[in-house]
Amino acid sequence: MALGLGLILAIILLKYKPTYVVSLSGEQIGYVDSATELNNKIQSEIINMEGNNIDFVALDNMPSYEIKLVEKSQETNEDEILLALKEEATVMYKYYAVILNNETVSCVDNMEEAEQAVNQIKEEHKDDSIELDLVVTTNYTENIDEIGIESVSVAKEEVEQKVEVLIEEDKKTKLPSINGVLLAVSPVSGYVSSRYGSVSSVRSGAHTGTDIACAFGTPIKAVADGTVIFSAYNGSYGNLIKIDHGNGVETWYAHCNKLYKDVGEKVKAGDKIAEVGLTGNTTGAHLHLEIRVNGKTINPQKYLYK
């Protein structure tokens, strides 16, 4: 009897082998020779997976094992099982967002370098009039490829560009304006030698503009964007250039030595349009600046040369 059982067992072992059947969530996914070795690989290759930005890996469903006798021709498929488990795993990535005034500017993968860059930017602009709410936050995602991770150097450039825009916008909000026209530039640097409305023996009436004394030949700049509507000699004004800025606002620049712009030309604030001279009714080199709204003169010193 024992000899018969031994013979049967020998025949079975010649044809079959003990193998672990691996199942995941009740579904058979393959065969392995050692459950211990597979568990070790799951731990090292999945749970402890290493890679850029990986914070942790979670595997909610661990495989189950059942040892069975299978035909010796049955091959194991450990690599396929590991691949199936990786697809089941949840990989959580960590990244760092550089946020300026509640807006995410860039995402990076190095917190320390990002904070150094942010602190440097803050230091460079500590004396500016604008307040920068600039921080680095830690964030998590399962889809790191959708985030768009950049280098810290690139992120720093993007933040600096946005800060410069904010500075320019802040400056514009503080610029004087008339009927929505920003007076962005003072036409010359100098001192006021004659105020609006002043009366003098050299004039037939009250002064219609502001005189700014400066050196002969000093470049005169347009105070705002506009279109040249007059550029020629005009009696007591001497060489005169007029710019229409829209919304009924005009600026006049008189006593010029040379006129650089012609009628019809578009100019931007800060463009050189003429140079200071002695033409017309004048006793010294200066710019006579007039601002007119709907044809009527107003005091330029309400807006410039205060």
pLDDT digits (tens, 9 = 90+) for 253-304: 999 999 999 999 999 999 999 999 999 999 899 999 999 999 999 999 999 9
Q: What is the mean pLDDT of residues 75-93?
A: 93
Say whether pLDDT at 193 is over 60.
yes
Separation between Cα atoms, residue 168 and residue 56, nearest integer Å: 43
Say whether pLDDT at 231 is over 80.
yes
Task: Quickly count: other Cβ atoms within 10 Å of residue 225's Cβ.
Answer: 17
Q: What is the mean pLDDT of residues 92-106?
A: 94
Res 306: pLDDT: 82
Res 5: pLDDT: 60
Confidence of residue 56 (pLDDT cuts 50, 70, 90): very high
Res 113: pLDDT: 93
Buried b (16+ CB within 10 A) or exposed e, 76-105: bebeebbebbeebbebebebbbbbbeeeeb
Res 9: pLDDT: 58
Of residues 276 and 144, more confidence is placed in 276
Res 3: pLDDT: 56
